[in-house]
Amino acid sequence: LVAASGGYMMACVADKLLAAPFAYVGSIGVVGGSPNVHKVLERAGVEVVQRTSGRFKRSLQQFEPNTPEGLQKYQEEIDAIHAAFKGHVSTNRPSLDIEAVATGESWLALHALEQGLVDGLCTADAYLRTRSADAAVLLVRAKPPRRTGLAALLSRGVEGAASAAAALAELAGAGRGLASQLSSRLRPSASLAGQGLASGAASGASPTEAPPS
């Protein structure tokens, strides 16, 4: 399980934060980047035309060389997001030494407990079993989205084909049952006919003739 970065941002608002012992927790940091392919384009003789309105509309470049000013601006934007992230965590967990944990590092919950990032170690199953003694535990499932248009048409076609296949399978099963019943009823007749033939052969009579009186 991972509750790091954005996961921890959401989790830290809880009144009590529990984590499985081997969950990954933390990563209070920000990362950003983009590939720059202007040298590849130059070698291929490709020119990219780009125009912006606003001094820092494109602080990080992909098709043109980056500038020191643009890179500095991009770093300032990342730092601003990091400061907001730290403020959010500090507001919800004021006892944390935010500067010690907001380094972008992640810890196993075993060690995150020592840092104060979580309040206890417990798996989800164990927690639910504990709470089931004094509270109702409900299983909630998402309702499947209602299909419309082509999706609904295809769904009905698939469901119809499945129903037809089930009906054919049931019919085939009934046919096998009927054949079995007919076979069991015909066996005594065949046995009697066989006995008649055997009797005729023993008396020397033709199977089609009655023995002489």
Token pair 């010690």 in the structure block, residue: 100
- Name the percent of the chain in helix, strand, coil, to the closest 5: 50, 5, 40
Contacts 24+ apart (CB under 8 A), 108-116: 108/21, 108/22, 108/23, 108/24, 108/25, 109/19, 109/20, 109/21, 109/22, 109/23, 109/24, 109/25, 110/21, 110/22, 112/19, 112/25, 112/26, 113/19, 115/26
Is 57 labeled as catalytic in the residue annotation?
yes
85: buried, middle or exposed (CB in 10 Å: 19+, 13-18, 0-12)? buried
Q: Is 143 a catalytic residue?
A: no
Encoding tokens for residue 202?
């023993």
Question: Residue type for 3, please?
Answer: A
Annotated catalytic residue, options 16, 39, 57, 143 = 57
Q: Please give the positions annotated as active site.
A: 5, 57
